Amino acid sequence: MAITGTHMLLYSSEAEQLRATLGDVFGFKSVDAGGGWLIFALPPAELGVHPAEGPTWESGTRHQIAFMCDDIGGTVAQLRAKGIQIDGEPQDEGWGIHVTMALPGGVQVMLYEPRHKTAI
């Protein structure tokens, strides 16, 4: 068996605006899969598995997407300057520093500066 990649989906009530944000603001390259349906290339990824306990699980969260960065303060400033809504200020949890971005169409994505070893 050969797993060749991971395909992620974001559902948005403002799909065109979210596609523009991913391309224009985040700089993700894309291909048109037909009819204007853009498929975006993503930076390298890693996958963590967390236990089914604690406040995240209890809130109903079963999957989460986080964009990683090396300098969360600088990245937040750049994204805010480009019009991205950042909810609150970055929080240091020990394992990393994170904040939530509100993307077009009610899509919530974590921005995360890890403080642990990464797999990539």
What DSSP string runs through 19-50? HHIIIIIS---EEE-STT-EEE----------
Instruction: Residue 65: name the closest of 9, 116, 118, 110 by CA.
Output: 110
| Nearest Cα residue to 96 out of 115, 69, 117 | 115
Task: Indicate the pLDDT class of residue 3, thresholds 50, 70 and 90.
Answer: confident
Q: pLDDT tens, 56-113?
A: 889 988 889 999 999 999 999 999 999 999 999 999 999 999 999 999 999 999 999 9
Residue 34: the pLDDT is 94
Domains identified in the chain and CATH numbers: 15-114 (3.10.180.10)
At 18-51, the pLDDT tens digits run 999 999 999 999 999 999 899 999 999 999 998 8
Q: Which two tokens stand for residue 79?
A: 């994204």
Amino acid at 86: I
Confidence (pLDDT) at 43: 94
